[in-house]
Structures are given as structure tokens and as C-alpha cells.
Chain A
């Protein structure tokens, strides 16, 4: 094996332990209480998993994006909320790693991320933008009498694990006169931020992500804004990698729903050897749905890694369409798999306290369609389809 492959394998072995020994144990309680999966996130910290994607030159493990995606899948099979928190954190890490330019500030930050295992949340959505992340209302504003200081106040309708993060990555207009689309991403510590909750958190699924609304206020140094314009960050990294990692989480959730349905069918077959198990045919249908999801997710990862050799390629409309479509297809398919799994095991799948329960899976997977609303993505694609040639 190569050094890189060894590194990925060691990382994934640690993730597997966290998933099976910790995330799985607390998943139901996290879901029931709508509480942050603190045990699993602490265990990820202990294994230095929060800095896994930081390059070795800055002290990180330098694991591949493929391994990060696989980790999202592995965690997703045991606790959807843990997996989604991990995925969102890795999206912010990837954003910094890929777009820090020659900023000493952000190099230092990544070293601290390694030594302190800091958890990064994001405040990218905003009240008043209609869910369009490529526009901001709040602006990074000069502070009187302090030429290097900036302040802002942003109304975040959902800030996932905002109350549990060490840092936040917040999108803002670059300055008070900037157009809505002229954005920067600012990284600020929770310790220098005021988070004023604006709502409660009692949702249908993904309850452990603890994503209520907040008013986010902070005063920061000018150098805390990433040097790359957010429009470039979004196109080359945040949108495609979000869709990839989220989709791996959803695939993990759907795969566990399938596994539970299969365990139910096997138990039924063992109880009456030789007798036909009517649910086995339903299970076969579930596998067909799961295979579609798996193929969609895996092929998108291969396509991204191929395109990633060339940032210019990542900025084409054809690629934008492809990764938007990944999100749409995977977010619609994952709940279908979970629902199909529930139909296999019937009432014992429907009940919340059996080894075959898939209620949490179904509810968690239903959040997929609204993490960036599918209708908004369809609208974007509708425009792109007018002009893109090869789809």
C-alpha cells in the first residue's frame, strides 16, 4: 500500500470504531432528546478526526477527500446527526484548506485546528435571501477608529450546532457598499461571537444537529476573511463538496435502513426454515432502490475527483449541473429507500424500540430535500439547462 492509502486506512479504522462503539450507542438518545451528539464528537476529537483533511505540511493527517466521504458514510450508518455534523465540519475545513491562498492567519489557524481539534459551524443561510446562499444582506463593516477591525450582525435562520462549535464560518457582503453577490467568508471564534437564539429546535429529523436560528454578531480582524471571493469558494468547493458529503451521509442512513430490513427478513427465515418469507421479495425491491442511490453517490465522487485535477473544469456549468443533480437525486432517493425498508419489516420497523426500527432513518433522510431546498436547486438547474450542452 502507498503511504496515502495507509493514512486513509488508519483514519477510516478510527472512524469505524467511533461509529460502532460510540455513535451507534447514543444515536437513539441523541434523536429522542434532540441533543448534540457530544460523546461521538468528543471521540472524533480524540482521534484527531476533525483535522484529518488538513495537509501534513500544516500538521494534519492529510487524508483524501475520498476517505472523508467514506467516513461520512460510515458514521451515517450509525447516527445520522453525528455524520451530518462531521460532514458539515469537513466542508468548512475543506473550504479553508482549498482557499486560504497565502494567508499566514489561516495557516496558523489550521495548525491550531490540529492541536485544539476545533469544531467549525457555518452561518451561510440568511433571513431575507430566499434561501439563496450566493447572496448576503449583512455586511462586513469597518469599525470606527480601528482600521484593521470589522464588525457584522447576521440573521441566521438555521445555524447547525451553532451553540456547540468552537468557530463559525460566516458569509457576508465584503463591505457595506458591496452588491448582494459580492461575498466573503469570515472565520470567527465562538469566544469572540455573540449568538442570540431566535427560535427553538424540535424538528422531525436530524434532531442532534441542533440547528436553531441565531442572530450572529462579532467583531473580527480584517484578515479573518478568506482571501478568495466566496463566489469562487462556492463554485469550486462548498457547493460540490457539500452535496458530495451530504449524499454520503444519506447513503449511510439508507444503507443502515436496508441492513435492518435485511436482518428482519433473515430472522423470519431462521424462525421457519424452508418456508417462504414473503417480505424477502420486498427486500429485493429495497435493494434496487438502494443500488440506485449508491450508484449516484459513488459516480459523483469519482467525477468530482477527476474534475478536481482542474479547477477551471470545476467552474463549468456542466459540473454545476452535475453536482446539483447529485443533491436532488440523492435527497429524493434516500427517503425512498428508508420507506421501502419500513414496508419490509412492518410494525417492528415502525416501532421506535426494536432492533429493526427505521423511523429515525426515515425522519433523518427527509431532511435531505430541505438542506438547501430542492425547489431552489431545480430553479438554478432550469437556468443552466438553457445553455449547457452535455448533460
Chain B
């Protein structure tokens, strides 16, 4: 969670999907699995649509 690796994953996702994770999404439970990341991205895209 606080490691450089997870920060890099978040940065890469923001770049690839052209989204910004709000602070309330920047927590362990959101980044603990591919499924939870997918769900978070889907939520952000739904909000943007």
C-alpha cells in the first residue's frame, strides 16, 4: 500500500485510463486485488459517463 510499487500501479492506471482516483479510493482495500481495482475503475468510468 505505501510501497513504491503500489503507487506506481496507481499512477500507471490513472495514465492508462485517463482517470484520477479520488483520495477516498486510495486505500488498501481498493488495491488489494485485480478485481477490486477493476471495480474501482468501473465506478470512476460510470461517474464520468
B20: A residues at CB distance < 8 A: 389
B42 at the interface (CB under 8 A from A): no
Flag if B11 contacts A387 (CB, 8 Å). yes
For B4, B20, B21, B28, the residue with the greatest tally of chain A CB atoms inside 10 Å of its CB is: B28
The smallest beta-carbon distance between B20 and chain A, in angstroms, is 7
Bitwise, B6-23 to A at CB < 8 A (1) or not (0) is: 010011001000001111
B47 at the interface (CB under 8 A from A): no
In the assembled complex, 28 residue pairs joining A and B whose CB atoms fall closer than 8 Å, in A order, are: A134-B2, A181-B3, A231-B1, A235-B1, A235-B28, A312-B29, A315-B1, A315-B29, A316-B23, A316-B24, A316-B26, A316-B27, A317-B23, A317-B26, A318-B23, A318-B26, A320-B2, A383-B2, A383-B3, A383-B4, A384-B2, A384-B7, A386-B7, A386-B11, A387-B11, A387-B26, A388-B26, A389-B22
A231: B residues at CB distance < 8 A: 1, 28
Within 8 A of B (CB), among A214-233: 231-232
Q: How far is the CA of A313 from the CA of B20 in the complex (A)?
A: 18
- Interface of A, secondary structure class, is helix
Number of interface residues of A (CB under 8 A): 20
B1: A residues at CB distance < 8 A: 231, 235, 315, 317
The smallest beta-carbon distance between B10 and chain A, in angstroms, is 5
A390 at the interface (CB under 8 A from B): yes
Within 8 A of B (CB), among A362-376: none
B11: A residues at CB distance < 8 A: 386-387
The smallest beta-carbon distance between A78 and chain B, in angstroms, is 36
A134: B residues at CB distance < 8 A: 2
A232: B residues at CB distance < 8 A: 28
A181: B residues at CB distance < 8 A: 3
Q: How far is the CA of A316 from the CA of B21 in the complex (A)?
A: 12
A316: B residues at CB distance < 8 A: 23-24, 26-27
A194 at the interface (CB under 8 A from B): no
B2: A residues at CB distance < 8 A: 134, 317, 320, 380, 383-384
Q: How far is the CA of A389 from the CA of B3 in the complex (A)?
A: 17
A380: B residues at CB distance < 8 A: 2
Q: How far is the CA of A127 from the CA of B10 in the complex (A)?
A: 31
* Closest 9 pairs between A and B when the two form their complex, measured CB to CB: A317-B26, A318-B23, A315-B27, A316-B27, A383-B7, A387-B10, A389-B23, A387-B7, A390-B23
B14: A residues at CB distance < 8 A: 387
Give 14 new A-B contacts, CB below 8 A, not counting A317-B2, A384-B2: A181-B3, A235-B28, A313-B24, A315-B1, A317-B26, A383-B2, A384-B7, A386-B7, A387-B7, A387-B21, A387-B26, A388-B23, A388-B26, A390-B23
Residue of B nearest to A236 (CB): B28
For B3, B10, B24, B26, the residue with the greatest tally of chain A CB atoms inside 10 Å of its CB is: B26
Q: How far is the CA of A232 from the CA of B29 in the complex (A)?
A: 10
A388: B residues at CB distance < 8 A: 23, 26
B23: A residues at CB distance < 8 A: 316-318, 388-390
The smallest beta-carbon distance between A372 and chain B, in angstroms, is 13
A389: B residues at CB distance < 8 A: 20-23, 26
Q: How far is the CA of A179 from the CA of B45 in the complex (A)?
A: 34
B22: A residues at CB distance < 8 A: 389
Q: How far is the CA of A380 from the CA of B10 in the complex (A)?
A: 15
Q: How far is the CA of A317 from the CA of B28 in the complex (A)?
A: 9
The smallest beta-carbon distance between A263 and chain B, in angstroms, is 44
Q: How far is the CA of A383 from the CA of B1 in the complex (A)?
A: 10
The smallest beta-carbon distance between B30 and chain A, in angstroms, is 9
